[in-house]
């Protein structure tokens, strides 16, 4: 925010002393135009989502499409809301990073200040080609929701859950996975998890403990709920044990696991689709699918999903900044590939810090403003190499005050729960273990 104010103050000053001059540091010394300067920025950073058929509310491809949005683009870009990316820059480097440089932001700002001119049509770069259909290539297997969901035009839509049997008769190794929503305009995010037929015998190498502050107020008894039927109870128990496979949010690239690694789906597993829809004024219908490419051979390492979680917190009514922490100790040498903060509507921020056995510590992901609407998997450019005994400490804050615009009820005491009006505190991660390999994996000598 301060940076924004400063730079607009600079613009104003330059503007006063030399009205024709262009502008903030790093901007080109001539008047930027759509065709020469702006289109390349939008094509590289925006039209993945802002084009026909994608999740962005408007297309930003042609000059006529972009012109009415010029000021909104300037504002969203300078406030850091677009492109959507929530990790603080100084910590960690990610392959799926979406970020504009200061020079690109300055160009957009200067273009708007100059009246958003079109420029010479000959300067317009070719619109990048997007592959239609599956990005991972033709999948070896596709699973979809058993029936379409009718999306209402307005109102809040509860999460929808669908169970889809894989009918796999042997364990399958997944090299790449891609979620394709039937209607990307309404599917906000999808989490596909695996309900394994029995708790798999692979040893966990994450020893997780919640950190409960000594002064935490006692939790009041939970409000009485209507008793569950046997079927409902069985369903809840089955789903509670589901292991996250692919969390997907609009605009995300497909998941391709690093060479030599793969994700396992045990024989007999059921896929659980949890679907988050947003109403946008138009009714529609959706049937989301997931496609898999199988590994040709068993991998050297199994990619596992872990969760560093605290289920014991209590968030008092109205409290604006409640800290909740959890920590995991690595029981084997390991590599961490992705990080994914998960909270619900009162989640405010989350930070992952690694503490190495020699005492050195390093912040590896900091999301200072968490938006529950943007579930994001952060793909580390280089895996984190964690010797046995390293700890990953996750710190989150929650805002249960009326000032939080997502807060459904600041008068409630909030505890862990599945529903969106309850809370979760999970630092998800995917990792591979260097030694403690489960059956089925064929490590090749190098230990
Ligand atoms: C990952 C997908 C994605 C990317 C990339 C993206 N957007 Fe968006 N954008 C959205 C979605 C979804 C919305 C509507 C929800 C919201 O406002 O957050 C939106 C909203 C907007 C709005 C507000 C529209 C309104 O109704 O007021 C503007 C302006 C915008 N985007 C500009 C941009 C620009 C400029 C870029 C590139 C620098 C960009 N976006 C990149 C998905 C994306």
Q: Which residues, including other chains, have CB under 8 Å from residue 261's CB and lie 6 or more apart?
A: 299, 300, 301, 302, 303, 337, 432
**Which residue has a Cα nearest atom 7 of ligand 1?**
83
Q: If you ran DSSP here, which 8-state letter would residue 37 be given?
A: I
Tell me the backbone φ, ψ of residue 24, rounded to 5 degrees. Answer: -60, 160
**Which residue has a Cα nearest atom 12 of ligand 1?**
56
- If we measure between CA atoms, which residue out of 430, 357, 362 comes closest to residue 206? 430
Whole-number pLDDT of residue 235: 86
Whole-number pLDDT of residue 199: 62
Distance 83 CA to ligand 1 centre (A): 6
Distance 254 CA to ligand 1 centre (A): 20
Closest ligand 1 atom to residue 100 Cα is 38
**Which residue has a Cα nearest atom 9 of ligand 1?**
56
Distance 23 CA to ligand 1 centre (A): 25
**Which residue has a Cα nearest atom 11 of ligand 1?**
56
Whole-number pLDDT of residue 158: 85
Closest ligand 1 atom to residue 249 Cα is 1
Distance 53 CA to ligand 1 centre (A): 14
For 113-158, what is each residue's pLDDT tens digit?
Answer: 999 999 999 999 999 988 778 989 999 999 999 999 999 999 888 8
Calculate the alpha carbon distances from 157 to 141, 192, 232, 375 in Å.
Answer: 29, 18, 20, 17
Whole-number pLDDT of residue 275: 93
State which residues of the chain have pLDDT below 50.
1-24, 27, 443-447
Calculate the alpha carbon distances from 295 to 78, 279, 362 in Å.
Answer: 43, 38, 34
Whole-number pLDDT of residue 55: 79
Does residue 44's CB lie within 6 angstroms of at least one atom of ligand 1? no
How far apart, in whole angstroms, are the C-alpha atoms of residue 8 and residue 124? Answer: 28
Long-range contacts of 92-98 (CB under 8 A, 24+ apart): 92/339, 92/363, 92/364, 92/365, 92/366, 92/378, 92/380, 93/380, 93/381, 93/382, 94/378, 94/379, 94/380, 94/381, 95/379, 95/380, 95/381, 96/252, 96/253, 96/377, 96/378, 96/379, 98/45
| Both tokens assigned to 173 | 């190794």
Closest ligand 1 atom to residue 108 Cα is 35
* Other CB atoms within 10 Å distance of the CB of residue 73: 22
Distance 66 CA to ligand 1 centre (A): 12
Whole-number pLDDT of residue 7: 36
DSSP conformation letters of 59-102: --SSHHHHGGGHHHHHHHHHTT-SS---S-TTS--BTT-----H
Name the CA dihedral angle for 55, 242, 368, 5, rounded to a multiple of 10 degrees: 10
Does residue 69's CB lie within 6 angstroms of at least one atom of ligand 1? yes
How far apart, in whole angstroms, are the C-alpha atoms of residue 136 and residue 291? Answer: 8
Distance 47 CA to ligand 1 centre (A): 9
Closest ligand 1 atom to residue 76 Cα is 29
Does residue 77's CB lie within 6 angstroms of at least one atom of ligand 1? yes
Closest ligand 1 atom to residue 58 Cα is 24
How far apart, in whole angstroms, are the C-alpha atoms of residue 297 and residue 151? Answer: 41
Whole-number pLDDT of residue 442: 54
Does residue 98's CB lie within 6 angstroms of at least one atom of ligand 1? yes
Distance 240 CA to ligand 1 centre (A): 33
Q: What b/e sequence results for 3-30 when a residue is b if at least 16 CB atoms lie within 10 Å of its CB, and e otherwise?
A: eeeebeeebeebeeeeeeebbbeebbee
Distance 56 CA to ligand 1 centre (A): 6
For the chain, which domains are there?
A: 2-123 (no CATH), 141-199+206-433 (2.60.120.230)
**Which residue has a Cα nearest atom 42 of ligand 1?**
56
For 322-365, what is each residue's pLDDT tens digit?
Answer: 999 999 999 999 999 999 999 999 999 999 999 999 999 999 99
**Residue with the two structure tokens 């999740």:** 55
Whole-number pLDDT of residue 13: 35
Whole-number pLDDT of residue 200: 59
Closest ligand 1 atom to residue 72 Cα is 29
pTM tops 0.85: no
**Which residue has a Cα nearest atom 23 of ligand 1?**
72
How far apart, in whole angstroms, are the C-alpha atoms of residue 366 and residue 80? Answer: 15
Whole-number pLDDT of residue 445: 35
Distance 82 CA to ligand 1 centre (A): 6
**Which residue has a Cα nearest atom 26 of ligand 1?**
57
Contact criterion met (CB below 8 Å) for 181 and 286: yes
Q: Give SS3 for 371.
A: coil
Does residue 46's CB lie within 6 angstroms of at least one atom of ligand 1? yes
Whole-number pLDDT of residue 329: 96
């Amino acid at each position: 925010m301060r940076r924004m104010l400063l730079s607009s103050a600079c613009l104003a000053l330059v503007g006063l002393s030399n009205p024709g001059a262009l502008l903030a540091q790093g901007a080109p010394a001539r008047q930027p135009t759509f065709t020469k300067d702006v289109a390349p920025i939008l094509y590289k950073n925006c039209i993945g989502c802002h084009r026909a058929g994608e999740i962005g509310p408007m297309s930003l491809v042609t000059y006529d499409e972009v012109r009415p949005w010029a000021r909104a683009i300037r504002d969203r870009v300078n406030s850091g809301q677009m492109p959507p990316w929530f990790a603080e820059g100084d910590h960690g480097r990610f392959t799926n990073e979406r970020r504009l440089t200061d020079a690109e932001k300055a160009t957009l700002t200067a273009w708007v200040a100059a009246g958003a001119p079109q420029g010479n049509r000959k300067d317009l770069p070719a619109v990048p080609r997007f592959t239609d259909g599956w990005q991972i290539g033709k999948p070896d297997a596709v699973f979809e929701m058993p029936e379409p969901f009718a999306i209402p035009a307005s109102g809040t839509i509860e999460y929808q859950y669908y169970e889809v049997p894989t009918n796999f008769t042997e364990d399958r190794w997944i090299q790449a996975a891609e979620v394709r929503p039937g209607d990307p305009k309404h599917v906000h995010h999808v989490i596909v998890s695996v309900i394994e037929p029995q708790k798999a015998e692979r040893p966990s190498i994450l020893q997780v403990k919640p950190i409960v502050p000594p002064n935490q107020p006692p939790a009041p008894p939970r409000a009485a709920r209507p008793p569950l039927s046997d079927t409902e109870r069985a369903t809840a128990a089955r789903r509670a044990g589901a292991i996250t496979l692919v969390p997907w949010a609009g605009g995300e690239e497909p998941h391709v696991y690093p060479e030599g690694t793969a994700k396992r789906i045990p024989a007999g597993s059921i896929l659980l689709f949890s679907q988050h829809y947003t109403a946008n004024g138009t009714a529609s219908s959706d049937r989301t699918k997931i496609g898999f490419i199988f590994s040709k051979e068993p991998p050297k390492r199994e990619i596992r999903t872990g969760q560093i979680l605290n289920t014991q917190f209590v968030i008092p009514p109205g409290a604006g900044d409640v800290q909740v922490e959890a920590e995991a100790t690595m029981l084997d040498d390991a590599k961490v590939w992705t990080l994914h903060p998960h909270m619900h509507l009162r989640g405010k921020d989350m930070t992952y810090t690694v503490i190495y056995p020699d005492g050195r510590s390093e912040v590896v992901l900091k999301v200072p403003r968490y938006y529950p609407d943007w579930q994001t998997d952060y793909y580390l450019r280089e895996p984190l190499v964690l010797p046995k005994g390293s700890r990953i400490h996750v710190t989150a804050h929650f805002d249960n005050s009326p000032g939080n615009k997502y807060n459904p009820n600041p008068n409630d005491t909030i505890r862990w729960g599945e529903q969106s009006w309850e809370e979760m505190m999970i630092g998800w991660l995917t990792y591979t273990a260097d030694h403690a390999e489960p059956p089925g994996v064929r490590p090749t000598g190098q230990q």
